[in-house]
């Protein structure tokens, strides 16, 4: 593990990767009967993206503080954001084709993360500008939600900017608060735990989580008479003159009441794993390795799950345990890759 990395934060990112893999496996393999453990994983799914954006915001602020050349830091992270957005567009195109404008503005978690990183890089260390943008983005999201207005890429579709950009900004700004005094992490963790406990009382937490705390949003995609997915085939169909057929695609979006709960749970998870890493660093090494090589794992897990789902016979595909086996295989392959790459990464 290279010097300067926070093993607890890497472990939290690795945990988010495993949780993401499990829910993606449930959807890709689609067992005939979802076991209770699978249902539980799906119910806590809203916490997973909050983990990603909390960690990303905090890590970006930490890297800015440690940088001696802020101009070079900004350029590096803007290029990183551009690379993530390009990868996101390519993945979206390969799966869904030239959907417009979703290809550019609503193309998944990597696209949303890329824009968040670009915003953070442009903000630099400005506390005033960051706070103003955080307040403005939260206010805009609440107004749009109250009015029932849905805008692709803003608060509609797969991983829109709202509420994930405010979550990212909150974590970005909190990095300074966490190092303000030695006791601030303890105070923030206690506040987060108290918030979750208060909402655990009836009717708060049960009301929020009982309905999953989410709503459905929809976008209009197209398909052709020959293909529904596979972007290259859809593009070929269009070039051959086949008529595009509209189809309605649904995505879930967190309701305002759920976001503070999910953020509190994500923050507590990071705090807990960081505390464990401080006392028992080697206990979290597998998760930390996965988290350190997160982008490679993210891309690899999509390929592996797709291959597993494509090759399994129907009687195995529908079994209630197959998704768990697929999760273990994919996470194991990711861990093997990360362990193989680690000595090389540690020397760079």
DSSP 24-52: HHHHHH--SS--HHHHHHHHTTTHHHHHH
Token pair belonging to 288: 């930390």
Q: What are phi and psi of 214, to 5 degrees?
A: -130, 165
- In this prediction, residue 200 carries a pLDDT of 66
Q: Which residues does the chain have with pLDDT short of 70?
A: 1-4, 199-212, 344-348
pLDDT of residue 118: 96
Per-residue burial over 263-284, b if 16 or more Cβ lie within 10 Å, else e, is: bbbbbbbbbebbeebeeeeeeb
Predicted pLDDT at 208: 58
pLDDT at residue 160 in the model: 92
The whole-model pTM stands at 0.88
- pLDDT of the residue at 1: 45
For the chain, domain boundaries:
1-46+257-348, 53-180+214-254
Which 3 state secondary structure label does DSSP give 18?
helix
Task: Note the pLDDT of residue 12.
Answer: 92
Of 43, 28, 24, give the one whose Cα is nearest residue 258.
Answer: 43
60, 117 contact by CB (below 8 A):
yes
In three-state secondary structure terms, 334 is helix
Q: Is the dihedral of CA 107, 104, 86, 3 positive or negative?
A: negative
CB 5 within 8 A of CB 292: yes
Tokens linked to 33: 């009967």
Residue 348: what pLDDT?
34
Distance spanning both ends of the chain, measured CA to CA: 11
């Amino acid at each position: 593990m290279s010097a300067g990395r926070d093993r607890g934060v890497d472990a939290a990112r690795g945990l988010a990767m495993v949780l993401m893999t499990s829910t993606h496996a449930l959807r890709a393999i689609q067992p005939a009967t979802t076991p209770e453990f699978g249902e539980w994983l799906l119910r806590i799914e809203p916490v997973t993206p909050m983990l990603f954006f909390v960690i990303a915001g905090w890590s970006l602020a930490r890297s800015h503080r440690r940088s001696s050349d802020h101009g070079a830091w900004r350029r590096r992270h803007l290029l990183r954001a551009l690379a993530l957005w390009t990868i996101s567009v390519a993945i979206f195109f390969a799966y869904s084709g030239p959907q417009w404008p979703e290809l550019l503005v609503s193309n998944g978690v990597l696209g949303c993360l890329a824009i968040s990183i670009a915003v953070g890089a442009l903000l630099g260390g400005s506390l005033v500008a960051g706070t103003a943008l955080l307040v403005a983005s939260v206010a805009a999201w609440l107004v749009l939600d109250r009015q029932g207005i849905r805008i692709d890429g803003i608060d509609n579709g797969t991983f829109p900017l709202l509420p994930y950009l405010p979550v990212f900004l909150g974590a970005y700004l909190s990095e300074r608060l966490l190092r303000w005094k030695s006791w601030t992490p303890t105070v923030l963790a206690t506040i987060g735990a108290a918030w979750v406990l208060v909402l655990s009382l009836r009717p708060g937490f049960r009301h929020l989580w009982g309905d999953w705390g989410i709503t459905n949003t929809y976008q209009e995609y197209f398909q052709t008479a020959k293909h529904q997915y596979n972007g290259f085939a859809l593009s070929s169909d269009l070039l051959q003159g086949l008529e595009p057929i509209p189809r309605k695609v649904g995505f879930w979006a967190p309701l305002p009441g759920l976001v503070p709960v999910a953020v509190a749970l994500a923050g507590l998870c990071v705090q807990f794993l960081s505390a464990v890493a401080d006392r028992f660093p080697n206990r979290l090494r597998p998760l930390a390795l996965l988290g350190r090589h997160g982008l490679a794992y993210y891309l690899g897990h999509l390929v592996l799950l797709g291959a597993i789902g494509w090759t399994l016979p129907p009687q195995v595909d529908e079994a209630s345990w197959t998704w768990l086996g697929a999760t273990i295989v994919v996470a194991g392959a990711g861990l093997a890759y990360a362990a193989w790459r680690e000595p090389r990464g540690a020397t760079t």
